[in-house]
Amino acid sequence: MSIGINEVLASRLLPEILSAYKQGFPNKSQRIFIEENYSNALENDLLEKEIDLHIRLLPIFSNKISYQKLFKSPIYLIADKTFLLFKKNNHKILSVETIDREKWEKMKFIFLYPGSGFSRLVDSFLNNHKIIVQNSFKIRSLETAANLAYEGLGCTFIPSFYLKQNFDSSKCNIFKLSEDIFSVQLVIAFLRGMNLNEETKKFIKEVVKYYKNKK
């Protein structure tokens, strides 16, 4: 069985996804091949039947691909002092229910390089709200972007699984965005109408069950 997963997601999610499958079938010796790549490349691999499954974020535009939902993740903004809503030594995670564009446009933002599903969602969010920010860095890894932001070296968005509860409030603030404003849905994608083998069906079932029980 071959599974594609975006590099942005793999470092945090892949260990628990594989562990959930192994716990469901501890005596199985199924070989699993992992391909890490950008989301658009993995989607092409799925369409070409070079991988069996693709762990990814919505949206999916191809009508040849179906999916099972895993979980929905809220989005957080790690913000440095260039963000006008920054409050020095604020230890609490603040809530954002509405967007005041003028208060967002001064910030220096840490972007991911194009190609990942998450980078496309961030670009769409900024475009939809007509927010124009300064480019502080361009980074390939979401984990690196998050760590830079935690050190007060720019602002960046993260899904909840990159959140640190213990952060240095002299360097950064953390804002949780309302799900009506910005959130992400993680799914396991596969070819529509494809006759999946039993091992692949079991993998999907166990991972879906794991995240359902985790809620």
The string of pLDDT tens digits covering residues 77-103 is 999 999 999 998 888 999 999 999 989
Read off the pLDDT of each residue in 156-165 and give the average, rounded to a whole number: 92
Q: Would you state the pLDDT for residue 172?
A: 96
3-state secondary structure of 162: helix
CA 25 → CA 18, 31, 33, 136, 190, distances in Å? 11, 13, 17, 46, 21
Q: Would you state the pLDDT for residue 194?
A: 87
3-state secondary structure of 135: strand
Cis omega (within 30 of 0) on the bond before 15?
Answer: no
Q: Would you state the pLDDT for residue 29?
A: 62
CA distance 127 to 131: 6
Looking at the predicted structure, is the pLDDT value of residue 28 above 70?
Answer: no
Looking at the predicted structure, is the pLDDT value of residue 139 above 70?
Answer: yes
Looking at the predicted structure, is the pLDDT value of residue 192 above 70?
Answer: yes
User: Residue 111: left if φ>0, alpha if ψ -120 to 50, beta else—which one?
Assistant: beta
Q: What share of the chain is helix, strand, coil (3-state, %, to 5)?
A: 35, 30, 35
Q: Which of 63-72, 111-120, 138-147 has the lowest mean pLDDT?
A: 111-120
Token duo for residue 80: 């440095």
Which residue has better confidence, 11 or 174? 174
Looking at the predicted structure, is the pLDDT value of residue 117 above 90?
Answer: no
Looking at the predicted structure, is the pLDDT value of residue 60 above 70?
Answer: yes
Residues pairing with 3 in the sheet: 34, 53
3-state secondary structure of 113: coil
Read off the pLDDT of each residue in 172-196 and give the average, rounded to a whole number: 94
pTM for the structure as a whole:
0.88
Q: What is the mean pLDDT of the chain?
A: 91
Read off the pLDDT of each residue in 201-207 and give the average, rounded to a whole number: 92
Q: Would you state the pLDDT for residue 27?
A: 61
Q: Taking the alpha carbons of 43, 49, 54, 59 in that order, is the dihedral positive or negative?
A: positive
Q: Would you state the pLDDT for residue 130?
A: 94
CA distance 208 to 213: 9
Q: Which residues of 198-211 are buried (b: 16+ CB within 10 A; e: fewer)?
A: ebbebbbebbbebb
